[in-house]
Chains A and B, each alone.
Chain A
């Protein structure tokens, strides 16, 4: 059974999403290098659409589900049964749309009728986040390929919201996740106690009222610092922006605030793997 699973991960279809090609390019570059070093064969979808970034919570408006379902149909047409994502927002939106049509046959039927230019979606695609796939590879195998161990670097692992909630699509325990900590530990780092790891950073308010995000992020980063973290890692391009770029806004509100480096978890991995 276990071998079967790892074989499937050998040829993965990857959905990048819009931000991975621009501000989150370092996330894509480092993740693909890490995957290669671990022998995972990853192929970007030849064609994909923006997923819409936030899952629509309206029960009466299916139009916002179309982008996600169109992407899942494309994966189905390629003959695959899994789609890999790197962005937490893409992961969440695709996974929640997938869950919606799995639970509700009538809605799926409506969507299928609307998307008449593509084959019907058969609900067989699994939406996976890169972290889940790394967990399948296993920490033992990752330890084997570590070249530059992180020698006890104290890391605060920040998950944010969309990797974990709603719990039906969460990749780990929604209150006390450990998937990033285990990964960082396998690279030789020391994950710190970090109760603010699942606290929302303020998300898209960054586009309208940055000070709201700055206040949220201040508490998150101070919590990391209190626990003597030297670095914060995350997987979401929006959390990354908020945690890193909003530090200049924090400084204006809380002049005593001391900056703390923020990196994508894949950047830290590629550094440890020497790729």
Chain B
């Protein structure tokens, strides 16, 4: 992957503020990626998301599928030797995109047409819409 880095400290500050996490605590051991159950669906690996944040490569972060695939299962955070809660960072990135763009990631009509448990619908709408 070739990156064009446009450092954006303002967005990084916002993400740290929403998540309450310090991205610079990460030393890239890769434990989060090793245990992530969604990793085979992702375009950018979980540890790479943090690396991009550290580099201030916000455009790259914002355009990944990865942040939308994270389902907040908390496996990464439970295993992180540095205590970084990556689920919170993923949520902060999603929220920042939803808030800034004021546009939902998933439109209601994209929801599968079959009967689902309410908890599936509500949690999907909570995570994918602003």
Binding site for B on A (CB under 8 A): 17-19, 22-24, 50, 52-61, 64, 87, 89, 161, 165-167, 174-175, 198-200, 202-208, 210, 212, 215-216, 237-238, 240-241
Q: Does B30 contact A (CB under 8 A)?
A: no
Which of the residues B18, B37, B41, B112 comes within 8 Å of A207, measured between beta carbons? B112
Which of the residues A24, A57, A216 comes within 8 Å of B87, measured between beta carbons? A57
Which of the residues A53, A174, A198, A212 comes within 8 Å of B122, measured between beta carbons? A53
A59 near B20: Cβ-Cβ < 8 Å: yes
CB distance from B49 to the nearest CB of A (A): 15
Binding site for A on B (CB under 8 A): 17-20, 37-38, 40-41, 69, 71-75, 77-78, 85, 87-88, 91-92, 95, 106, 110-112, 115-124, 126-128
Given A52-B126, A59-B19, verify A200-B119 contact (CB < 8 Å): no
What separation, in Å, do the CA atoms of A202 and B39 have in the docked complex?
A: 11
A-chain residues with CB within 8 Å of residue B75 when the two chains form the complex: 161, 165, 198-200
Top 7 closest pairs, chain A to chain B, by CB:
A200-B73, A165-B74, A57-B91, A161-B73, A204-B123, A204-B124, A207-B124
A208 near B78: Cβ-Cβ < 8 Å: no
A60 near B119: Cβ-Cβ < 8 Å: no
CB distance from B87 to the nearest CB of A (A): 6
Which of the residues A17, A61, A203, A215 comes within 8 Å of B73, measured between beta carbons? A203
- Interface majority SS (helix, strand, loop, mixed), chain A: loop
A238 near B126: Cβ-Cβ < 8 Å: no
Listed by A's residue number, 28 A-B pairs whose Cβ atoms lie within 8 Å are: A18-B118, A23-B118, A50-B118, A50-B122, A52-B126, A54-B123, A54-B126, A57-B19, A57-B72, A57-B85, A57-B87, A59-B20, A59-B88, A60-B18, A161-B72, A165-B77, A165-B78, A167-B78, A200-B37, A200-B38, A203-B73, A203-B120, A205-B69, A206-B112, A208-B106, A208-B110, A216-B37, A238-B117
Of the listed residues B74, B92, B126, the one surrounded by the most CB atoms of chain A closer than 10 A to its CB is: B74
CB distance from B57 to the nearest CB of A (A): 22
What separation, in Å, do the CA atoms of A30 and B110 have in the docked complex?
A: 34
Which of the residues B69, B116, B126 comes within 8 Å of A212, measured between beta carbons? B69
CB distance from A174 to the nearest CB of B (A): 5
B112 near A208: Cβ-Cβ < 8 Å: yes
